[in-house]
């Protein structure tokens, strides 16, 4: 299964007949891509399920509708079992950014977290999930973000990357995270839920 968010509403591409959310179901080979995007942006539906009998082939075909932008980021945990969040454009988010040419995914993830939060001594514990969301920037783009669970014992003040629109970088405890996720993106909830379910 692949889940792509369009304005926080998912397109689920799957070979499973399960439809837990009762989203409208379409057969992948019969869809018109632009109509699917239009429905999610302009109708009162909360998501769309695209059924396929060949998941990998149709997923690769689906991606040809976009310029794919690879990115990487981290869910960072400290010794107090708190998690690092950033506040950007009035929304809580996790640090992430584009993978630069010649850079490995894990190195990019560490670099982006360091740059956006002014944190160091990061170690990757494991890969969590890859998320997908669409946005417009000189055409329709698909951001493919590779997320890692990280840890750090860094205890100096964090420095948010103001030039990237980040006004706060801070650790939050579990009791604060529920409220934060209500003011965040669906992809960020997915990253945190993946960590909690592991």
- Do residues 12 and 72 share a domain? no
- Do residues 55 and 103 share a domain? no
CATH number at residue 119: 3.90.79.10
Per-residue pLDDT tens over the stretch 32-50: 999 999 999 888 899 999 9
Could you tell me the two tokens for 128? 């969590």
Mean pLDDT of all residues in the chain?
Answer: 96
Res 90: pLDDT: 93
- Do residues 192 and 125 share a domain? yes
Could you tell me the two tokens for 83? 């998690």
- Do residues 131 and 41 share a domain? no
- Do residues 51 and 99 share a domain? no
Per-residue pLDDT tens over the stretch 111-170: 999 999 999 999 999 999 999 999 999 889 999 999 999 999 999 999 999 999 999 999
Model confidence, pTM: 0.94
């Amino acid at each position: 299964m692949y889940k792509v968010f369009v304005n926080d509403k998912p397109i689920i591409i799957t070979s499973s007949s399960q439809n837990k959310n009762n989203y409208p179901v379409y057969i992948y080979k019969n869809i018109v891509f632009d109509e699917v995007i239009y429905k999610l942006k302009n109708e009162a539906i909360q998501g769309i399920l695209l059924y396929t009998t060949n998941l990998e082939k149709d997923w690769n075909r689906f991606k040809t509708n976009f310029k794919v932008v690879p990115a990487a980021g981290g869910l960072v945990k400290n010794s107090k079992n708190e998690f690092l969040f950033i506040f950007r454009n009035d929304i809580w988010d996790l640090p992430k950014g584009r993978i630069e040419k010649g850079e490995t995914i894990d190195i990019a993830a560490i670099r982006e977290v360091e740059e956006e939060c002014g944190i160091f001594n990061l170690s990757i514990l494991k890969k969590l999930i890859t998320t997908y969301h669409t946005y417009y920037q000189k055409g329709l783009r698909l951001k493919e973000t590779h997320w890692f669970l990280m840890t750090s014992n860094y205890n100096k003040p964090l420095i948010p990357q103001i030039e990237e629109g980040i006004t706060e970088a801070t650790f939050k405890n579990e009791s604060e995270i529920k409220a934060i996720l209500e003011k965040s993106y669906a992809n960020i909830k997915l990253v945190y839920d993946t960590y909690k379910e592991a």
